[in-house]
Amino acid sequence: MFHLHLSLFSKAKALEADIDRFHDKLIDASMTFTRAIKIYTTEGRNPDFEKHSKQIKQIEHNADELRRHIENNLYSYNLIPDLRADVLELIENFDKVINKIDEVTYMFYAECPDIPEEYQSSFNDLVRLSADAAENMCKASRSFFRDIGAVRDYSQKVYFVEHESDLCSRKMIENIFASDRSLAEKIQLRQFIDGIAEIADEAEDFIDRLLIFTIKRDI
């Protein structure tokens, strides 16, 4: 019994460490993304931006490997089935945000859009808001595992920041379409704005699910 008890906790400890590392990946991706877009908007696609872009790709790849590892371990670890299903769903949805960050960075890398000077600061603001939503989502998710009472606080921040990002992206789109640029340019810029704002949307979707799982486990 004592051996069983120890082995159960050592297994849990390894899995806890993996879940923590998985959360770290989103923080890494989000901070690298903010820096990469700042470099792009001011200096264009230079070697420094490319280096950051590759870093994000690597983070996304590592996160995928970690996710698969956690999912396999969750099956072998004898969790209460209902909790296992919820944790698996959370991990999958969490990964979607990292994937979105990678996807948007790659769009900048591949399409090299021309960001007019008057929109550069708005682009950086929008990126900051989306990154903020992702980071608060990460904190909420960590709290779900470690301090369930704090989930609501971080979730509220995500909702607030996501709303701000919505307002910011709409204003940018309206300004761009009110300008005398070519339609192709306008549509391309809108796609980039939508892409960045979708990071915050994904974070909000994640939080919606997380809150349901939290209510289920609230004592």
- Which residues sit at the interface with other proteins, rule CB under 8 A? 5, 8-9, 12, 15-16, 19, 77-83, 87, 144-149, 216-217, 219
Q: Among residues 24 and 125, whose Cβ is nearest to other proteins? A: 24
Q: Among residues 7 and 46, whose Cβ is nearest to other proteins? A: 7
Minimum CB distance to other proteins, residue 146 (Å)? 6
Q: Among residues 114 and 147, whose Cβ is nearest to other proteins? A: 147
Q: Sign of the C-alpha dihedral, residues 113, 36, 68, 162?
A: negative
| Structural contact between residues 159 and 129, judged by C-beta atoms closer than 8 angstroms | no
How far apart are alpha carbons 103 and 45 in whole angstroms?
Answer: 16
Q: Among residues 15 and 97, whose Cβ is nearest to other proteins? A: 15
Give SS3 for 86.
Answer: helix
- What does R_g of the chain's alpha carbons equal in angstroms? 19
Looking at residue 112, the DSSP 8-state letter turns out to be -
Minimum CB distance to other proteins, residue 6 (Å)? 11
Q: Which of 101, 80, 119 is nearest to 32 (CA)?
A: 101
DSSP assignment string, 127-183: HHHHHHHHHHHHHHHHHHHH-GGGHHHHHHHHHHHHHHHHHHHHHHHHHHHHSSS-H
Q: Among residues 59 and 66, whose Cβ is nearest to other proteins? A: 66
Minimum CB distance to other proteins, residue 103 (Å)? 30
Minimum CB distance to other proteins, residue 133 (Å)? 23
